[in-house]
Amino acid sequence: MSDGSTNSSLRGAVWRDGSVAGRVQLAYCLHMQGREKEAQLIYTAALKQKPDDIGLVAIASNNIIAINKDQNVFDSKKKMKSATLEGLEHKLTSRQRKNIAVNHCLLALYTNQSDQCQQLCARLVQQYPDMGAEATLIRAVQLAKDGKSRDAAVVLDKFASQNPEHQMKMRLAAVQLLLSEGDRKESCRILQNLSEATFKPGIVSALVTLYLADGNLDAASKVLKDAVDWYRKNKVSTGDLSTMWRQAADFHLRSGEPAVAAKSLEELLRINPGDKKTLAQLVLAYAQIDPAKAQVLSKQLPPLDLSQTIDVEALELSNWMMKSKVAKKAAAKIEPSPGSKPGTPGDELIQKKKSKRKRKGKLPKNCDLNSTPDPERWLPRHERTGYRRKKDKRNKDIGKGTQGTTTGTSDQLRVENHLGKTTPSSPDRDSNLDLPVLSSKAQHDYADITKMPSQQTKPSPNPNSPVPDVSGPRQQQRKIQQKKKKKSGKW
């Protein structure tokens, strides 16, 4: 509560004073406390008053750029122009100008301006040689964004060779870029050349993981073996190394190297002498290489607590030993239905099914075993080659004749064609055609039908002509019916 009241009273005093410099200082304090939104609001409000001090404007603009980071880059570009005006050399300290130059490089990196970023980094190193590490990292990140991760790794490795004080940071950054490209071999080479830093637990773990990913078990084992020997020789205690010792021992035990595993377990016992689990593992390791020493160490293990109150025979006959067998028998047993009696003959059928005897198929009576069977006997009848479909006479007249005619009219046309071949003046009595004999009434009706105009006759050009345009069999049927009525009226 005291801090909050102090901050609020200080802020109130600054606002009452109305000084722009005081507001910027208050915003900087909030910025250092992590209250960036409040600080940005005060910075922006101070810049809106357009103070005459260009140094104050440059500092406020630079701090807004630092808050924006990779967001709102267009506003950051405008603020950067105010922070890099001419004449600021006498208004700002060298530390402030250095920070503005670094932020200018980062802004070019965020806006993906590759050439400008490289130029600004070179200018930064030229003006401030102690900022070479920061400039090199920015250049490497820009190259990686451009898809040149290997070139970026070369730049970092070269700078690390020239500046040993930055070796660890630069080469780890190069390893990260190479791993993003999937180059594990080059990454392992760089990690192996870190001198004494190679034996740090994190570096050892990374090397073992990379070698195991490549399937190189010998190299992974050698890394752990060298790390164990280096720590045993130098007696360096940097934090808790028990995890590394235990992992090394487990790895060497699995890979069949009990001698190396014993060294790791001895270091674990030296760190924690009362660890009985480590002692038991050490006994197992020495049992493979030095049984006598394993016998001596086994005497340090606690004795088994076999109290006299425990009945060994009861334990051997206890239910937990036969639990799996009893469970299997209970699952195999099938309970009978509630309505059936325990002695019914159907219970045996429920528990055990009888296997049915397979019978041979019966052959047909007309089967001739000497003749070759029909290869199409498995096909349906309508798919066989010798199948002939029955003729269906129900739909024989469908589709015959001209369009729009019926079956009756097609029969009449066929009769007319037959009559046209034999003239009435010279009948051919020897002809084999058996024409139907029409009655007088049917002949009269047929004469009326033949007098009607056909579908192909052109309509009469006179619109007052009593003869209508006949277009189909329906009109013909009406005409026949009307004439029949008139004749019946005359009779």
Is 403 within the bounds of a domain? no
Amino acid 380: pLDDT: 92
pLDDT tens-digit profile of 102-128? 999 999 999 888 888 889 999 998 888
Is 358 within the bounds of a domain? no
Count: domains in the chain: 1
Domain containing 269 — which CATH number?
1.25.40.10
Encoded tokens for 120: 């600004």
Amino acid 1: pLDDT: 38
Q: Could you tell me the CA-to-CA distances from 213 to 150, 171, 207, 490 in Å, in that order?
A: 21, 21, 10, 118
Is 239 within the bounds of a domain? yes
Q: Which long-range contacts (CB under 8 A, 24 or more apart) does 14-23 make?
A: 20/46, 20/49, 20/51, 20/53, 20/56, 21/51, 21/53, 21/56
Kind plus residue range of the DSSP H or E element containing 238: none
Domain that holds residue 251: 198-301
Is 270 within the bounds of a domain? yes
Amino acid 4: pLDDT: 42
Amino acid 17: pLDDT: 43
Q: Please list, in sequence order, all residues whose beta carbon lies within 8 angstroms of the beta carbon of residue 391, skipping any fewer than 6 positions away.
A: none
Q: Please list, in sequence order, all residues whose beta carbon lies within 8 angstroms of the beta carbon of residue 102, skipping any fewer than 6 positions away.
A: 124, 131, 134
**How many angstroms separate the first and last alpha carbons of the chain?**
132
Is 292 within the bounds of a domain? yes
Is 258 within the bounds of a domain? yes
pLDDT tens-digit profile of 126-179? 888 888 889 999 999 998 888 888 888 888 888 888 888 888 888 899 988 888
Provide the 8-state DSSP code for 43: H
Is 253 within the bounds of a domain? yes
Is 69 within the bounds of a domain? no
Cα 371 to Cα 361: distance, rounded to the nearest angstrom: 19
Q: Could you tell me the CA-to-CA distances from 449 to 412, 438, 446, 475, 477 in Å, in that order?
A: 9, 14, 5, 12, 10
| pTM confidence score | 0.51
Three-state DSSP at 320 gives coil
pLDDT mean by block of 10 residues, the chain; 491 residues:
44 54 88 89 88 87 88 87 83 88 90 88 89 90 88 88 87 89 87 85 88 85 82 68 76 79 79 78 81 79 69 67 56 53 50 71 83 88 87 69 59 58 47 48 51 48 50 52 51 46
